[in-house]
Amino acid sequence: MPTDSRKHQSLYCSSSTVVVVVVVVVVVVVVVVVVVVVVVVVAVVVVVVVVVVVVVVVAVVDKIVVVVSR
């Protein structure tokens, strides 16, 4: 009889452990997705800033070259 109750208890333990593992996995997946989204957004912002800076620098240099050539 004691072995039977022990088995039942270990089964209960393992099922609760499975629930905890599933919750942890879901949380980890959500965190990873959020981090990936943040990284992508930051990368897009950096690319946009770099493009704007390059365009401004090219425009300024172009004007300087025009002024100097005159």
CA distance 51 to 54: 5
Give pLDDT, residue 70: 64
Extract the tokens encoding 41.
């957004």
Q: Please tell me the distance from the alpha carbon of residue 52 to that of residue 70, in angstroms, as a whole number.
A: 27
Show pLDDT as tens, one digit a residue, over the chain (70 residues): 444 544 555 555 566 777 888 899 999 999 999 999 999 999 999 999 999 999 999 988 888 777 776 6
| pLDDT at residue 7, as a whole number | 53
3-state SS of 16-55 is HHHHHHHHHHHHHHHHHHHHHHHHHHHHHHHHHHHHHHHH
